[in-house]
Amino acid sequence: MNEIEILTWLRGPGLQISVALFALGLIFRTVQNLTIGMSKNLAESKGSYMMPGMATIVRRSLFHPGTTHRGYFTMIAGYTFHIGLLVTLFFLEQHILLFKSILGFAWPSLPPAIINITALVAIAALIAVLLHRIMDPVVRKLTDYQDFLAWILTIAPLITGYLAMHPIATTYQTALILHIVSAEVLLIAIPFTKLSHMVSIFIARWYNGALAGYKGVKS
């Protein structure tokens, strides 16, 4: 198989398989979570589940005075990484062309010079959180192999994508193949790993908030 054949496969059947598994897996898990439902509450209450749940989704995403010094690092590095990743993913012209051909619509892109920075910032933040994970005794105790797996799966498309933009010690074709492979592996892995937090974090925060914010007796 030569590069053009590999690229054509990755852009065709490879993309179909990975997008299908991603959509099927993530939507299945989300719908299954939602259909569990909550048991019927027979007692009359003063409040509801909905609003406190929604408020918690917002509140848990904000900086607040109770956050500890250690928490600040997690929040700042976490936000830096996520913003860097999402801007790189959704505002690079090449990516928008892909979304356009799948979704049917497009949006304005950012200049490559800015995407270079957001990609590098995301990579740097990922390295920082990995060091923190290894060095901090508390976080280290909470770490299992899946955290390293998620880290590798996430940083791989960023590094290979940067290489495709600036081929160093490789050709553009090779970097592009590695980039698409790593992105497709990531898509497939999302529903099966804790990377599915891209949806479940909202459900989990809502549920926590709904339980804590409920005013009234539960039957």
Partner 1 sequence: MSKQDNLLEILQRQGVSRRGFLKFCSAMASLMAMPPGTAPAIAAALSKAKRPSVIWLSFQECTGCTESLTRSHNPTVESLILGAVSLDYHHTLQAASGTAAEEAREHAMKEFFGKYLLIVDGSIPLKDNGVYSTIAGMTNLQMLEEAAKGAAAIIAVGTCAAFGGLPHAKPNPTGAVSVSDIIKDKPIVNVSGCPPIPVVITGVLAHYLTWGTIPDLDKHKRPLSFFGDSIHDRCYRRPFYDQGKFAKTFDDEGARSGWCLYELGCKGPTTNNACATLKWNNGTSFPIQSGHPCLGCSEPDFWDGGSFYSPLPTPSADVSTVALGAAAAGVAAGVAFGLYDHQKRKKAKQQHEKITVKDLDE
The contact set with partner 1 (CB under 8 A) reads 2-5, 7-8, 11-13, 15-16, 19-32, 34-36, 93-95, 97-98, 101-104, 109-113, 171-173, 176
> Residue 15 or 201: which CB sits closer to partner 1?
15
Residue 213: Cβ-neighbour burial (10 angstroms; 0-12, 13-18, 19+): middle
The phi, psi pair for 46, rounded to 5°, reads -85, -35
CB of 122 to partner 1, least distance (A): 19
CB of 26 to partner 1, least distance (A): 7
HSE-CB at 179 with a 13 A cutoff on CA atoms is: 22
> Residue 77 or 188: which CB sits closer to partner 1?
188
Look up residue 43 and give its DSSP letter.
S
Measured CA to CA, the distance from residue 88 to residue 158 in angstroms comes to 9
CB of 16 to partner 1, least distance (A): 5
Of 158, 161, 155, 154, residue with least CA distance to 177? 161
CB of 30 to partner 1, least distance (A): 7
> Residue 47 or 111: which CB sits closer to partner 1?
111
> Residue 12 or 216: which CB sits closer to partner 1?
12
